[in-house]
Amino acid sequence: MRILSTVLIMVPLACMAYGSASTTALLETNLAFAGDKNKAPVNDDSITDQVRMRLAGDSDVKGGGIDVLVKDGVVTLKGQVDTDRARSKAEKLAKHVKGVHSVVNELTLRE
């Protein structure tokens, strides 16, 4: 963030030194939009995708058999896992996805 702030100050100053106000305005606009990419709104579909990817990529969880339902940032995990560790880890992975407000863990252990 500190680097972006420095760029936002230094680049327009450099452009003004060369007498290009329109270039300065264009750079300020582009940099402002670049900084907003991390602030994009998070919707339920993107949360679902992120949770599924994290579950599938984890060696303990092996998330292929887990259903992920998301409604207003509340994630519900359903299905079966092999161990209690996998059940806990799936919940933890889901909680750390941006936009998740809470997780309802309905995972059960395979018999």
pLDDT at 17: 52
Query: Are residues 105 and 61 part of one domain?
Result: yes
32 is in which domain, residue-wise? Answer: 2-39
pLDDT tens, residue by residue, 35-57: 444 555 689 999 999 999 999 99
Q: What is the rounded distance in angstroms from the CA atom of residue 80 to the CA atom of residue 103?
A: 16
How many domains does the chain fold into? 2
| pLDDT 10s digits, 65-94 | 899 999 999 999 999 999 999 999 999 999
Q: Are residues 53 and 98 in the same domain?
A: yes
pLDDT for the residue numbered 6: 44
Q: Domain check: are 53 and 90 in the same one?
A: yes
15 and 65 in a single domain? The answer is: no
Measured distance CA(76)–CA(69) in Å, rounded: 5
